[in-house]
Chain A
Amino acid sequence: MALSGLDIFKLLPKTNCGDCGVPTCMAFALKLAQKKAELSECPHASEKAKATLGAASEPPIRLVKIGGPPSLEIGNETVMFRHEKTFFHPTGIAIQLLCSKEEKKLLKEIENVESYKAERVGEELNADLFFISQDSADRDSFLKTVNITKQNSTKGIILDCSDTENLKISLEVLKDDRPAIFLREKLTDEYVKLAKTSDSSLIITADSFEDLQSQSEYAKSSGLNNIILNMNSQNLGYQLQNSTILRRSALKKYFKPFGFPLFTFIQAEDSYDLLAKASLNLCKYSSIIVLPKYDKAMLYALFTLRQNIYTDPQKPIQVDPKVYQIGEPTPDSPVFVTTNFSLTYFMVSGEIENSGISAHLIIADAEGQSVLTAWAAGKFTGETIAKFIKEINLEQNVRTRKIVIPGLVAQISGDLEEKLPGWEVIVGCQEASDIPAFIKSVRIT
């Protein structure tokens, strides 16, 4: 059970000594509740506090690591919906390798995945794992595939193999690589032993909640902590329902047997079907999805989606502070200024474009805040705008000496005129949607 700040406060010494680096015990309690501090930072904590808080500080969904270093970290999520806070650990995308394939083809496949390079919003995107399946009776081919993969890739490996003897040898090959074992059948003592000795994570599979619970409890009682859950579902609808129930049980009811990341193997008829299923699982709670083959287009679509889902919504998205050209402006075109909050930028640039004119749009650095927020925090003032305009040498690049400011900050117009000698400041409209009408009715050049 998560403890509230007040519950934790009651366990603290209440002396407000400040030795933890926070001025009051209450403030420290809140930081503990938000998991932004650790009890060890308080030198005066009682044994009772340590015991109670220790139990409460366990995350509702366990963090599991595969591969590496650097390893793929999954789980440890705290909310059902991204907007409640944020999602922390993006879904790992695994590519299946079938060991029945020729060595050449396998090498090509691995090379394709390894050389895939895509960059989006400053982040390099790539698949995270290989999922090696023993699809032929040939024992050696599995081992060979594991070896090839290990030699040609640094990615984490999931082993899909029902032959425990073969698995044992493979795990020895991968002994420092933190692999994961995928079980198609019920968990047995043998698998527990294998996972424990090789320090691998275990992906357990079940057809019902009851079965999943009993396997999970069994693994836990045998001393296994790194567990990943795979629940077989009849169709996509049930899959969504099951994943949601598992996530809810872990987060809302603190039901420990389901407090682990989820796994899904995507099986599909065609690539559209595959994309739909992969997308759903990526959004709704799978921490690992396995794709049956490498497909560049498919991957890019999924990476884009993943990036969108796992971006922290608490941080304002910013655009680069600079002069943006709307249409084909000349040195005589009008000049607008606003902040670098991305939504502000998109709305304002869009509406200027809608009005049909060309213009210079100055995006000043306001640390990604919107107009009024930035103004209130002193980040969008006559002084900061004037300073920015001088930095970018605007006066050398445009002939006009009129500048339109957002109507919401009409109060800075005098100040800006003082700081920008020779310029006339025009107070624009308050809402971006009024820009086309504003441009028609006011002379801005």
Chain B
Amino acid sequence: MHRTSSQDKKDNFEIEFFPFEIKISVAPGTSILNAIKNAQIPLKTTCGGKGTCGECVVQVLSGKYKSKKSAALAERLADKGYALACLTEIIDNCTVQLPQFHQLSISNVFDSQFFDDHKKDISGIYEVKPLVKKIDLQLPSPSLDDNYSDLKRIQRELQRNLGVDFIHCEYSVLKRMAYEVRKNTGKISVILFKSAGTWTIIDVEPKTGKKNTYGLACDIGTTSVAVHLVDLSNGKILNTASNYNQQIKCGEDIISRINYTQRPGGLQELHTLIIMTINNLVKKVTESPQVSLSDIYYASVSGNTTMIHLFLNLEPRHIREEPYVPTLNQAPFILSRDLGLKINNEGRIHCAPSVGSYVGGDITAGLLCTPILSDSERISLFIDIGTNGELVVGNRDWLMTCACSAGPAFEGSGIKCGMPATEGAIEQIKIKEEGNLEYRVINGYRPKGLCGSGLIDLLAELFVHGYIDRQGKLILEKAKGRIVEDETGLGFLLEQSQNCFWERDLIITENDIANLIRTKGAVFSACSLLLKNIGLAFDKIDALYIGGSFGQNLNIENAVRIGLLPDLERSKFHYLGNSSLLGAYLILLSDKNRTLVNETSEKMTYIELNTEPSYMSEFTGALFLPHTDMELFPSVKQLFAS
């Protein structure tokens, strides 16, 4: 329980919502659900606040509240501070966790098996040569004979040290220079940043021996944002944090966000929200090990074109209007203070370059984690499945790319039983002979829902074992013991309430299945259209790299069985995990990667599927399991024949 003095009105209470870290002030007796609505957090409730659906469950972490009991919330949970937001009144300052928005946790990039195994043969270079350099100097004391200025003496030493003729210096450093130089009898640490071949002094301080330089790798997703804190002296990732993009409250997809910027003050608001999200994450990663924010000099950011525009506070509306032209594809280095990013004031920010409005820096950065850019023989396909699906095909000589709007189903959004790959998510599921389900939950607790990899498994298992037909409709005869029905239609019972975390039945509905099929259909049809455009057959693809937030493991066999991925030799598939973040990390570490990714973005050829008349028929053809044309999936055909 904490009372702060910064209350708007004397008798109002302050309520803070996690994971968003949004604080608002409300009148006593307000229901938490109304407070959530006032905070504009898009919490979904089926019953509309009657206390029957149990979906608005929250966990009160601190503060007093008054709650009515409901059959929709288990006693066990109520005892642990869980309550239904619609039936709970605030009578104190409170902090409240919203479980519908899971506390995101992302794993260290070194958990990416592919990266571990292929550090040597990916296109990006794994070396620690960042643009930020710390040089310790012992300046000779000035004398009447050696009466060069402070700046000149530093420049002289640095020129010798770096073997260059010219060193630039920032004004803010000059203002402190006389003082810093004399504090420790000429022993100083100088921080330099190299851009366009020139080194610039961006910081000078008395040498302490403890001084280190840090960098950030940051992936700005439409749904979630992830940050690595990196020690720039050795390339080690010290800490990692991830959270929802706070812009979610202004719209869940890119189009809605762009629309939002057209309101007065809308762009500024979205910009502020993303900077706030990142600042909160930076605060979190610098808590342990404790790192001073002013020691962070460089941030490498990747994200789709719209996210980068919002991050830089640039007008995004032309991204979605024909002929789809963004303000920029390659941003120059931006100063942290211009954006309000809370790192060193002279900190530099690099954004991974976009190819076009719908293929962004998350993709170009992701390519660094594959061997595609260094391979001149084989032809590879890179698929990044997020809210938008993006595809790249080619090799060192040529690259073609396109985007399709897949929808967030595999990220766990828009599916009743879906959730991100975090604690409590079923990440693997199998149907046994007798019709029993066997599954694995992340962190081994009772299941809360299914993440992307679990959903793919489930769809494939239901299909292969004959519980659903090729259109994704439940086969009543076969599934009869597990069929449930509610106002939205039929569903398949996965787990009974008493075995689930929320003590509500875990159900996948026919609508959810249709949604998943649409998503996989969008990705597959974009794939086949891209290849048709170039005149390539699927079997000409030598390697296939998949990025996305499905979870730790993606069952390739099942992804093929549902028709998400083409039916190729299984040894050709490689699952990368969050390739955008990994790419941002590689760019942070080495300038060669930055150069490579910028060059790459310029030679990629972008195909606009919007104007492709056959997209619709390709898409419709892919709306079956695995596809209308079974010949495209010989291994699935054979499975059904046997």
Contact = CB atoms under 8 A, between A and B. Distances in A.
Interface string B398-422: 1110000000000000000000000
B534 A376 contact: no
Nearest to A316: B613
Interface stretch (A6-14, A35-43, A101-109, A114-122): A6-14
A376 B320 contact: yes
A422 B44 CA distance: 31
B603 interface: yes
B533 A16 contact: no
A6 B602 CA distance: 19
Given A26-B605, A30-B533, A377-B322, A383 B262 contact: yes
A411 B250 CA distance: 11
B399 A26 contact: yes
Contacts of A3: 535
Contacts of A314: 613
A6 B533 CA distance: 9
A30 B536 CA distance: 12
Report which residue of B322, B536, B613 has the largest number of chain A beta carbons within 10 angstroms of its beta carbon: B613
A83 B617 contact: yes
Nearest to A3: B535
A54 interface: no
B320 A23 contact: no
A258 to B, nearest CB: 24
B321 A5 contact: no
A30 B604 CA distance: 13
B235 to A, nearest CB: 32
B536 A6 contact: yes
Report which residue of A23, A83, A376 has the largest number of chain B beta carbons within 10 angstroms of its beta carbon: A376
B104 to A, nearest CB: 26
Interface in B178-213: none
Contact of A378 (B321, B397, B536, B613): B321
Interface in B442-467: none
B320 A378 contact: yes
A33 B536 CA distance: 13
B259 interface: yes
A377 B405 CA distance: 13
Interface string B315-328: 00100111000000
Contacts of B604: 24
Contact of A24 (B322, B398, B534, B536): B398
B403 to A, nearest CB: 13
B630 interface: no
B534 A6 contact: yes
B255 interface: yes
A30 B402 CA distance: 14
Report which residue of A4, A313, A381 has the largest number of chain B beta carbons within 10 angstroms of its beta carbon: A4
A5 B534 contact: yes
A60 to B, nearest CB: 16
Interface residues of A, number: 30
A3 B617 CA distance: 24
Contacts of A415: 259, 262-263
B602 A16 contact: yes
Contacts of B603: 16, 24
Interface in A381-411: 381, 383, 411
A14 B398 CA distance: 8
Report which residue of A5, A83, A313, A381 has the largest number of chain B beta carbons within 10 angstroms of its beta carbon: A5
Interface string B531-555: 0011110000000000000000000
A437 interface: no
Contacts of A83: 617
A27 B605 contact: yes
Contacts of A375: 255
Contacts of B534: 4-6, 26, 30
B398 A411 contact: no
A25 interface: yes
**Interface size classification for chain B:** 20 to 34
Contacts of A9: 398
A5 B399 CA distance: 12
Interface in B232-282: 251, 255-256, 259, 262-263
A7 B398 CA distance: 12
A3 B534 CA distance: 10
Nearest to A85: B613
Nearest to A5: B534
A411 B605 contact: no
Interface in B585-633: 602-605, 607, 610, 613-614, 617
Nearest to B399: A26
A376 B255 contact: yes
Nearest to B321: A378
Contacts of A313: 613
Nearest to B320: A378
Contacts of B399: 26
Nearest to B319: A378
A23 B605 contact: yes
Given A16-B602, A26-B398, A30-B605, A411 B259 contact: yes
A33 B398 contact: no
Contacts of B536: 4, 6
A33 B317 contact: no
Contacts of B607: 30
Nearest to A367: B322
A377 B535 CA distance: 29
A377 B320 CA distance: 6
Interface string A407-442: 000011001000000000000000000000000000
Contacts of A377: 320-322, 610
B397 A14 contact: yes
Contacts of B321: 377-379
Nearest to A18: B602
Contacts of B394: 26
A25 B400 CA distance: 11
Report which residue of A7, A24, A25 has the largest number of chain B beta carbons within 10 angstroms of its beta carbon: A24
Contacts of A381: 259, 262
Interface in A336-391: 375-379, 381, 383
B364 to A, nearest CB: 14
Report which residue of B321, B398, B613 has the largest number of chain A beta carbons within 10 angstroms of its beta carbon: B398
7 smallest A-B Cβ distances: which pairs? A4-B535, A314-B613, A27-B605, A26-B398, A26-B605, A378-B321, A5-B534
Given A9-B398, A26-B400, 19 more contacts: A4-B536, A6-B534, A6-B535, A24-B603, A26-B399, A30-B534, A30-B607, A314-B613, A375-B255, A376-B255, A376-B320, A377-B322, A377-B610, A378-B317, A378-B321, A379-B321, A381-B259, A381-B262, A411-B251
26 contacts: A4-B534, A4-B536, A5-B535, A6-B536, A7-B535, A23-B602, A23-B605, A24-B398, A24-B605, A25-B398, A26-B400, A26-B605, A30-B533, A30-B605, A84-B614, A313-B613, A376-B255, A376-B320, A378-B317, A378-B321, A383-B262, A411-B251, A411-B256, A412-B259, A415-B259, A415-B263
